[in-house]
């Protein structure tokens, strides 16, 4: 029996674990992929107060170690199901919690184009820092206009021959500082008001078709980095907590869910600002409330 089972080892889940571990609770963190969540793919974090210019990998690794050091158990097992009485099922085990914190984050939104799944890992990637090195000296494209796309384009500009940065609107959604950095790179070409409509390549990616103002054209590239936002993946929890129409975990106050003993933290909840700072704040709040409200 665990006092708190935390699902997800991103910044929100690990911060919740840190707070609960420091309160001497018996805590289990379950994670299906690797620790760190999305931040592990960030080359440089510059907006976390007090720690300027830290890499996502270093930040996540320090946090993971900090959590281990307070005695929290972290098991790399994907959660398959949770039931009403707080039994948590993975492929390997069944765990019982007194309370649960859902901190499952979000996943990359897919293009929804034919050949996307087939070309994944053969030219298409959702993570520039993971796969960028495969495209040294080649022509690549980044799709999206948010901070992820801007950071990916900057990162790839140091490796690739040329980077096309393709976005659907005539302006970026991401930070102005990053937009200026992109505009100052000689090997980044910004392609505004364009949508990717087709993927080419029988074995590996050879090019894409883009549509701009009803005109179609082909761009020859070997790598495509998709950065068109994130989507939640919470369907498996819909038997125990209410979801919003978009699939985020509904919460009236950003901490509680529709189940009295299940709490939520981080990007997976319905919220306005999805940032590292708000994720760790959520984690601290969720753990503190779970401890306070269900103390023996």
Written as one string, the DSSP assignment of 19-83 is HHHHTT--EEEE-SS-TTGGGGG-S-B--STT--SB-HHHHHHHHHHHHHHTT-EEE---EEEE-
Q: Is 173 in the site for ligand NAP (CB under 6 A)?
A: yes
148 part of the interface to ligand NAP, by CB under 6 A: yes
Q: Site for ligand NAP (CB under 6 A): which residue of 82, 101, 167, 279?
A: 167
Q: Of 26, 122, 271, 274, which one interacts with ligand NAP (CB under 6 A)?
A: 274
Q: Which of 36, 37, 97, 144 binds ligand NAP (CB under 6 A)?
A: 144
Q: Cα dist. 291→256, 269, 285 in Å? A: 13, 20, 10
Smallest distance from the beta carbon of 154 to ligand NAP, in angstroms?
A: 11
- 177, two tokens: 């500082």
Interacting residue with ligand NAP among 31, 132, 142, 151 (CB under 6 A): 151
Q: Which stretch binds ligand NAP (CB under 6 A): 71-79, 118-126, 141-149, 216-224?
A: 141-149
Given the rule CB under 6 A, which of 74-82, 163-171, 184-192, 257-265 is the region that contacts ligand NAP? 163-171
Residue 32 within binding range of ligand NAP, rule CB under 6 A: no
Pairing of strands 107-108, 230-231: antiparallel
Among 149, 199, 208, 249, binds ligand NAP (CB under 6 A): 149
Are 172 and 145 a contacting pair, CB within 8 Å? yes
Q: Is 230 in the site for ligand NAP (CB under 6 A)?
A: yes
- Determine the angle formed by the axes of helices 176-183 and 147-157, rounding to 10 degrees: 30
- Which of 37, 97, 105, 145 binds ligand NAP (CB under 6 A)? It is 145
Shortest Å distance, C-beta 152 to ligand NAP:
9
- In the list 5, 227, 279, 285, the residue contacting ligand NAP (rule: CB under 6 A) is 227
Cβ proximity of 199 and 208 under 8 Å: yes
* Smallest gap from residue 6 Cβ to ligand NAP (A): 21
- Using CA atoms, how far residue 182 sits from 31, 164, 252, in Å, is 34, 11, 39
- Please give the size of the binding site for ligand NAP, defined by CB under 6 A: 20
In b/e form, how buried is each residue of 216-231, taking b as 16+ CB within 10 angstroms? Answer: eeebebbbbbbbbebe
Instruction: Tell me which residues are annotated as active site.
Output: 127, 130-131
Q: Specify the residue, 139 or 148, whose C-beta has the smaller distance to ligand NAP.
A: 148
Does 27 contact ligand NAP by CB under 6 A?
A: no
Kindly tell me the sign of the dihedral angle through the C-alpha atoms of 295, 248, 74, 50. Answer: negative
Q: Which range of residues in 117-125, 165-173, 199-207, 213-221 is near ligand NAP by CB under 6 A?
A: 165-173
Find the shortest distance in angstroms from Cβ 113 to ligand NAP.
10
Q: In degrees, to the nearest 5, what angle opens at C-alpha 172 toward C-alphas 168 and 174? A: 130
Does 147 contact ligand NAP by CB under 6 A? yes
d(CA 184, CA 144): 18
For the bound state, the minimum distance from the C-beta of residue 218 to ligand NAP, rounded and expressed in Å, comes to 18
**Which tokens belong to 50?**
């007090």
- What is the SS3 assignment for 164? strand
Which residues contact ligand NAP (rule: CB under 6 A)? 42, 47, 109, 144-149, 151, 167-169, 173, 227-230, 274-275
């Amino acid at each position: 029996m665990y006092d708190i089972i935390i699902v997800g080892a991103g910044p929100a889940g690990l911060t919740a674990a840190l707070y609960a571990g420091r309160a001497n609770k018996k805590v289990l963190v379950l994670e299906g992929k690797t620790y760190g969540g999305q931040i592990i793919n960030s080359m440089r974090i510059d907006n976390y107060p007090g720690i300027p210019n830290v890499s996502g990998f270093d930040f996540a690794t320090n946090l993971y170690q900090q959590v281990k050091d307070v005695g929290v158990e972290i098991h790399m097992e994907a959660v398959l199901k949770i039931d009403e009485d707080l039994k948590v099922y993975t492929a390997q085990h069944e765990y019982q919690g007194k309370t649960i914190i859902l901190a499952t984050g979000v996943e990359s939104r897919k293009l929804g184009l034919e050949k996307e799944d087939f070309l994944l890992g053969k030219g298409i990637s959702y993570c520039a820092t993971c796969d960028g090195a495969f495209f040294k000296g080649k022509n690549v494209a980044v799709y999206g206009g948010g901070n992820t796309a801007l950071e990916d384009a900057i990162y790839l500009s140091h490796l690739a021959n040329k980077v096309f940065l393709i976005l659907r609107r005539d302006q970026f959604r991401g930070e102005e500082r990053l937009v200026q950095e992109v505009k100052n790179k000689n090997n980044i070409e910004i392609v505004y008001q364009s949508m990717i409509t087709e993927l080419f390549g029988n074995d590996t990616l050879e090019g894409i078709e883009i549509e701009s103002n009803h005109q179609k054209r082909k761009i020859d590239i070997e790598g495509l980095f998709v950065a068109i936002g994130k989507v939640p993946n919470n369907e498996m929890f819909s038997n125990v907590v209410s979801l919003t129409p978009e699939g985020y975990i509904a919460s009236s106050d950003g901490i509680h869910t529709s189940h009295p003993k299940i709490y939520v933290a981080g990007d997976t909840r319905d919220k306005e600002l999805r940032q590292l700072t708000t994720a760790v704040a959520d984690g601290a709040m969720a753990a503190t409330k779970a401890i306070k409200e269900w103390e023996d």
